[in-house]
Amino acid sequence: MDPDELLRRFGREFPRGTVLFREGDPGREMYVVNRGSVSISARVGTVEKVLSTLGQGEFFGEMSILNDAPRSATATCVEDCLLLVVDARTFEAMVRASAEVAVRMIQKMAARLAEADRQIENLLLRDARARVVHFVAGEASRHPGAPLALSPGDLATRLDVDARQAADVLRTLERSGLLAGGEGAWTVPDADRLRHFLDLLQLDSHPGTRP
């Protein structure tokens, strides 16, 4: 099916703020982002945590269909969105008809699993400062040389630290020359030095059960 026909058949517009589905709902459709972005969030204790924000070309909502299980997370339009909304039967037919679709989906799911592993490793660090540095070092190694959009608010939601603490860590890294640039476009001049700094922090913050 060519892209125009896909859009004609499955394209639907959703305004910013639309909750597409909530964690625990039954799932009957999967979605592909054609325009806009969608946040995926889940309850951790009493707090709603953003697990990921998905943009153009990314898909979500496939797990319920594949596992015949309730939605594992809540999906919310962060901007006005144009999404392909594909019912379970059509989704299965697409995967069966095209090995390429299946392989791309497996690659995405493998990347998501690797990201979830990183998040678990991060959240096992006891020290909030180490969690921020671990996250920055991970971003720097995944996007070498690229500007990193790190904001204290975003770090706070992702890493279970408070925003003031996250801002303090960014300032400390900047003062030590481990981060350069500023708001919205940080760079890590020397990734090895940052890793070394993280190792030092972890000496008194071994992965383990947090209090």
Task: List residues near ligand CMP by CB under 6 A.
Answer: 27, 40, 51-52, 60-64, 71-73, 75, 112, 116
Distance, in Å, from the CA atom of 61 to the CA atom of 126, rounded to the nearest integer, reads 32
Pick between residue 129 and residue 131 the one whose CB is nearest to ligand CMP: 131
Question: Residue 33 Cβ, how far from ligand CMP at the closest point, in Å?
Answer: 11
Question: Residue 107 Cβ, how far from ligand CMP at the closest point, in Å?
Answer: 14
Question: Residue 62 Cβ, how far from ligand CMP at the closest point, in Å?
Answer: 5
Pick between residue 40 and residue 166 the one whose CB is nearest to ligand CMP: 40
Question: Residue 69 Cβ, how far from ligand CMP at the closest point, in Å?
Answer: 7
Burial class (CB in 10 A: 0-12, 13-18, 19+), 17: exposed
Cβ pair 117, 57 in contact under 8 A: no
Pick between residue 21 and residue 197 the one whose CB is nearest to ligand CMP: 21
Pick between residue 70 and residue 181 the one whose CB is nearest to ligand CMP: 70
